[in-house]
Amino acid sequence: MDEHEPIELAKGVYWVGVVDWNLRDFHGYETPKGGTYNAYLIVDEKITLIDTVKAPFFSDMARRISRIVDPSKIDYIICNHVEMDHSGSIPDIMEMAPNAKLFASSKGEKGLAEYYREKGYDKWDLTVVKTGTELSLGERTLMFIEATMLHWPDSMQTYLKDNAILFSNDAFGQHIASSKRFDDEIDDLITDAGIYYANILMPFGSQILKYVERLNELNVNPKMIAPSHGVIWRSNIQEIITAYGHWASGHNMQKVLVIYDSMWGSTEIMASEIVEGVMRSGVEVSMRHLRKNDWSLTMKELMDASVIAIGSPTMNNDMFFTISGFLTYMRGLRPKNKKFFLFGSYGWGGGAVKGMDKELEIGKFDIAMESMEVKFLPYEEDKKVCQDIGYKLGEIAKANANY
């Protein structure tokens, strides 16, 4: 197949996005599998483009559209989200199709004005739409659904009623680059969707639960969910909606996650002994050195785990810098219902555990049990204590799990 071939989702409805094979860092979120920016084209009496792609990929998208229609013939452009991975090509496509009408949420309009005031915004014919607003394309009708804080204030979704296709923008996305376009063609997609959820949507659980209710009220029962990243859900729709419900309500599995850093190996020895103890309790455990593991994948493990042990050596009176970075990231993502344990090695005055403790307090996180510190090197008796702690953390994980 030609690399710029569009993919037909339903009669007259096409994927016209791009695959970013070498994407490894999406605004700081590690993407080892790459990613896609999905745009969609509906050919009806009005030719409609739903979202665009990151600006450097504009010509790829335009070539794909050209296989179906002349891009200058586009009548409507829906901007579901102003973030640049989706709105970035609007100035270019508006230059090609200057008479096209743009549609965005009210916050979307303000965002477009901010981003593109020097790129043609003043000339654009823009209409603000709300939840329930309908737009006839001729044979078919679109309905808009505001999805505030999924994941920006302007976020919106578009529902093609006649085909029951929900263009969900960033919700239900996954960062994977693939020549496949549908969920049933990819193994273990729920894990990729979970990594995406943990890093992008985790802070917004309560909004997601309300949003799922709103879909029911609006009688939106999609047969297809076409997000702005990754593949399209056509076979496992109930599974992904159910998974969002679980993640949004703060699910906790019987799992302990041990994250740490270490300069000379002492904190690492403590981490390994804790892991041994957890294994003795029969609970699943995972150990992640923060300079050797992708934080985005670690954050998915953190979302699943019910107990998190964090270890840091003291460096210059404070916690190690990867730990403080990770704690800042985690605090913003607001994981729910987790229990924490802190440990680490120090040489003289210490400070790592104190620093981590302060961070957890700011984030209002729960401490599972008293922290443990070792001066320089952990010896046999310290290792035994770490193992016992691990075992207890396993028991706490069993009690705290809800899934």
Instruction: Please identify every residue annotated as catalytic.
Output: 27, 81, 83, 85, 151, 170, 196, 229
Nearer of residues 185 and 276 to ligand FMN, judged by Cβ = 276
Beta carbon of residue 227, minimum distance to Fe ion (angstroms, whole number): 9
Tell me the HSE value of 122 on the side-chain side, using a 13 A CA sphere: 3
Cα–Cα nearest to 231, from 379, 37, 58 = 37
* String of contacts with ligand FMN for each residue 48-87, x by CB under 6 A: ----------------------------------------
Beta carbon of residue 35, minimum distance to Fe ion (angstroms, whole number): 9
Nearer of residues 351 and 363 to ligand FMN, judged by Cβ = 351
Nearer of residues 239 and 357 to ligand FMN, judged by Cβ = 357
CB distance 291 to 260 below 8 Å: no
Task: Determine, following the binding rule CB under 5 A, whether residue 268 of this chain makes contact with Fe ion.
Answer: no
Task: Determine, following the binding rule CB under 5 A, whether residue 83 of this chain makes contact with Fe ion.
Answer: yes
- Give me the amino acid identity at 360: L
Nearer of residues 98 and 347 to ligand FMN, judged by Cβ = 347
CB distance 100 to 106 below 8 Å: no
Beta carbon of residue 180, minimum distance to ligand FMN (angstroms, whole number): 43
Beta carbon of residue 312, minimum distance to ligand FMN (angstroms, whole number): 8
* Polymer length in residues for the chain: 403
Partner whose binding site includes residue 20, from ligand FMN, Fe ion, none (CB under 5 to 8 Å by kind): none
Rounded Cα distance between 71 and 41, Å, is: 10
Cα–Cα nearest to 170, from 207, 219, 115 = 207
**What value does the CA radius of gyration of the chain take, rounded to a whole number of Å?**
24
Task: Determine, following the binding rule CB under 6 A, whether residue 219 of this chain makes contact with ligand FMN.
Answer: no
Beta carbon of residue 285, minimum distance to ligand FMN (angstroms, whole number): 19
Q: Is the peptide bond before 27 cis (omega within 30 degrees of 0)?
A: no
CB distance 182 to 231 below 8 Å: yes
- 361 phi and psi angles, rounded to 5 deg: -65, -45
Please provide the distance, in angstroms rounded to a whole number, between the alpha carbons at the two ends of the chain: 43
Task: Determine, following the binding rule CB under 6 A, whether residue 379 of this chain makes contact with ligand FMN.
Answer: no
Cα–Cα nearest to 162, from 263, 44, 290 = 44
- Using the contact rule CB under 6 A, the part of the chain among 313-321, 323-331, 380-388, 393-401 near ligand FMN is 313-321
Task: Determine, following the binding rule CB under 6 A, whether residue 373 of this chain makes contact with ligand FMN.
Answer: no
Rounded Cα distance between 181 and 186, Å, is: 9
Between residue 158 and residue 187, which ones bind Fe ion under the rule CB under 5 A? 170
* CA distances from residue 338 to 192, 330, 386, 395 in whole angstroms, order as listed: 22, 12, 20, 14
Partner whose binding site includes residue 158, from Fe ion, ligand FMN, none (CB under 5 to 8 Å by kind): none
Partner whose binding site includes residue 85, from ligand FMN, Fe ion, none (CB under 5 to 8 Å by kind): Fe ion
- Under the rule (CB under 5 A), what is the footprint of Fe ion? 83, 85, 170
- Under the rule (CB under 6 A), what is the footprint of ligand FMN? 262-268, 313-317, 345-351, 376
